[in-house]
Amino acid sequence: MKSKNPKKLPFPQLLLAVWRPYRDLSVFLKPYRVRLVLGLLSGIGYALINGCLPLVIQKVGGSVFKGGMSQAQLISGVGQNEGPGVDKVFWICLLVPVIMLLRSILSYGNTYCLTWVSLKVLRDIRRKVFGHLMEQSLDFFNRSQSGRLLSRVLNDTRVAQEALVGITGDVIKEPLTVLAMVYVLMRIDWKFSFVTLFLFPICLVPLIVYGRKIRKAGKAEENEAGIMAVILQESFAGIRVIKSFAREHFQLALFDKSSNVQFQSSMSVQKSSAIVQPMIETVSAFGVSLALFYVYFGHLSLGKFMALMAGMFLLYEPVKKISRIHLVLQKCLSASTSIFELLATEPTIEDSPHAVPLISSGGHLELKNITFHYGLQDSAPALEEVNLTIQPGQKVALVGASGAGKSTIFSLLLRFYDPQQGSVMIDGQDLKNLKLHSLREQ
């Protein structure tokens, strides 16, 4: 059961493609909507406070750095109307810790509430997927690799949960932060802001270019982690066979190959991640130089300059998160598609609509003209036209070579499989007309 990774889509098509699985996943958010709303409101408040920070910095800077006056001049300026008094400056300076304290509280509330919801959603998704797997028939597990199923329960559910809660939070908080910040910067000095914002997209170029490499390498690393899980599971489960045929070195070679692929993918991710920050800082340094030229020729006050620079640096993080939304959407599409394909898989052995519970069993077992094969290509039937009757209290031993059908008969008696031909009876009732749980409890 290998999931298909969807190809990269343009952003508008990606939004349309991800809408349905995202909507289906959002069902897991409903039980926790109160905590989710609190987290989102905290995020909105955080965004608005962030947008106000440059105005606070401008106010404080304009009051503290008043035309280069000394402290004595600042104090004496009370009577000369040349600047604010010490008391006023004190209260103005308190704006900074007050605003930062409020910002920190809202940030904590946003992080705590969304993390709480996120972990609850992860628990619920994993429980639903695991519970659905437990309802599957044996032929499903015969077709599937255990390592792949582990990856579905552990990795795909985690990616879907992170994407679900992450997108819900970022799609509201980050755009609002950017809009508030741009409005405030334009209000402070539209010429400076326009020139700087014109250069700002250059900082996003490394994110876009190396983001693609990170996405590609990260996907390869996740796929290889699933392969390694398969190698480990098969090695531990089949250790007798491995040792019987001296295949230890072969399994070790497979493990080494998977480890090397993961190493290369991880290094690619780290190299691409590490180079982005220095490139952005270099571009930012040129931007600061241009800003200083503007300050010199435009006679910009220190308070206004500090506010504009703080706003530009605070603008970087939300823009970076917005630029990554399409990557998160891509991951969400891949993981949620895999999860819902799994949840859409119905067990082949189910209770019929008219099945009745088996209250008690007298022990009369009968196989009537049974023909059964496991569905493998070009394989001979495990049982062919077999008839067997076992009376209550009768002791019967099934003897035969490996592959003669002994285990298959027990599997049919427990209705792990249904025969392609014939019927299995208990006390005169066909097993297909009995509820599975009541049958296997006997």
Tell whether 269 and 370 lie within a shared domain: no
Q: Range of 397's domain?
A: 365-441
Query: How is 393-432 classified by DSSP, letter by letter?
Result: T--------TTSSHHHHHHHHTTSS--SEEEEEETTEEGG
Identify the pLDDT of residue 232: 85
Q: Which two tokens stand for residue 64?
A: 């503290």
Using the predicted structure, report yes or no on whether residue 78 has a pLDDT greater than 50.
no
User: Do residues 428 and 364 lie in contact, with contact meaning Cβ atoms separated by under 8 Å?
Assistant: yes
Using the predicted structure, report yes or no on whether residue 74 has a pLDDT greater than 50.
no
Q: Which two tokens stand for residue 327?
A: 């990557």
Identify the pLDDT of residue 105: 93
Q: Interior CA angle at 19 toward 18 and 20, to 5°?
A: 95
Using the predicted structure, report yes or no on whether residue 128 has a pLDDT greater than 70.
yes
If you average pLDDT over residues 339-356, what whole number do you get?
Answer: 84
Tell whether 213 and 336 lie within a shared domain: yes
Q: Interior CA angle at 196 toward 99 and 44, to 5°?
A: 35
Which residue is it, tokens 């088996």? 358
Using the predicted structure, report yes or no on whether residue 409 has a pLDDT greater than 80.
yes
Tell whether 64 and 110 lie within a shared domain: yes
The amino acid occupying position 115 is T
Residues 6+ apart with CB under 8 A from 171: 325
Radius of gyration of the chain (CA): 33
Number of neighbouring beta carbons within 10 Å of residue 52: 17
Question: CA 248, CA 384: separation in Å to the nearest integer?
Answer: 38
> Could you give the percent of the chain with pLDDT greater than 90?
4
Instruction: Give the CATH number of the domain where residue 426 resides.
Output: 3.40.50.300
Using the predicted structure, report yes or no on whether residue 294 has a pLDDT greater than 90.
no
If you average pLDDT over residues 37-51, what whole number do you get?
Answer: 89
User: Do residues 20 and 341 lie in contact, with contact meaning Cβ atoms separated by under 8 Å?
Assistant: no
Tell whether 216 and 288 lie within a shared domain: yes
Question: CA 304, CA 309: separation in Å to the nearest integer?
Answer: 9
Confidence of residue 73 (pLDDT cuts 50, 70, 90): very low
User: Do residues 276 and 185 lie in contact, with contact meaning Cβ atoms separated by under 8 Å?
Assistant: no
Tell whether 186 and 231 lie within a shared domain: yes
| Number of independent structural domains in the chain | 2
Residue 351, in any domain of the structure: no
Name the residue among 329, 309, 315 with its Cα closest to residue 47: 315
Tell whether 372 and 294 lie within a shared domain: no
Residue 321, in any domain of the structure: yes
Residue 105, in any domain of the structure: yes
Tell whether 127 and 23 lie within a shared domain: yes
Tell whether 294 and 369 lie within a shared domain: no
Least-confidence region, from 37-46, 76-85, 164-173, 239-248 = 76-85
Residue 154, in any domain of the structure: yes
Using the predicted structure, report yes or no on whether residue 5 has a pLDDT greater than 60.
no
If you average pLDDT over residues 250-257, what whole number do you get?
Answer: 90
Q: What is the mean pLDDT of the chain?
A: 79
If you average pLDDT over residues 160-189, what whole number do you get?
Answer: 82
Confidence of residue 307 (pLDDT cuts 50, 70, 90): confident
Question: CA 327, CA 211: separation in Å to the nearest integer?
Answer: 8
Using the predicted structure, report yes or no on whether residue 180 has a pLDDT greater than 60.
yes
Tell whether 238 and 387 lie within a shared domain: no
Question: CA 337, CA 102: separation in Å to the nearest integer?
Answer: 40
Q: What is the pTM of this model?
A: 0.68
User: Do residues 300 and 294 lie in contact, with contact meaning Cβ atoms separated by under 8 Å?
Assistant: yes
What pLDDT digit, counting tens, does each position of 205-237 carry?
Answer: 776 777 777 767 777 777 787 788 888 888 888
Higher-pLDDT residue of 156 and 4 is 156
Tell whether 193 and 339 lie within a shared domain: yes
Question: CA 415, CA 436: separation in Å to the nearest integer?
Answer: 8
Using the predicted structure, report yes or no on whether residue 421 has a pLDDT greater than 70.
yes
Higher-pLDDT residue of 18 and 113 is 113
DSSP 433: G
> Could you give the percent of the chain with pLDDT greater than 70?
85
Name the residue among 416, 418, 409, 414 with its Cα closest to residue 440: 414
User: Do residues 170 and 322 lie in contact, with contact meaning Cβ atoms separated by under 8 Å?
Assistant: yes
Confidence of residue 384 (pLDDT cuts 50, 70, 90): confident
Residue 360, in any domain of the structure: no
Higher-pLDDT residue of 379 and 78 is 379
Confidence of residue 41 (pLDDT cuts 50, 70, 90): very high
User: Do residues 390 and 366 lie in contact, with contact meaning Cβ atoms separated by under 8 Å?
Assistant: yes
Confidence of residue 377 (pLDDT cuts 50, 70, 90): low
Confidence of residue 68 (pLDDT cuts 50, 70, 90): very low
Least-confidence region, from 288-297, 350-359, 362-371 = 288-297
If you average pLDDT over residues 348-364, what whole number do you get?
Answer: 83
Least-confidence region, from 25-39, 255-269, 315-329, 418-432 = 315-329
Number of neighbouring beta carbons within 10 Å of residue 183: 12
Using the predicted structure, report yes or no on whether residue 264 has a pLDDT greater than 60.
yes
Tell whether 372 and 332 lie within a shared domain: no
Instruction: Give the CATH number of the domain where residue 237 resides.
Output: 1.20.1560.10
Confidence of residue 38 (pLDDT cuts 50, 70, 90): very high
Question: CA 101, CA 136: separation in Å to the nearest integer?
Answer: 53
Q: Which two tokens stand for residue 239?
A: 């250790």
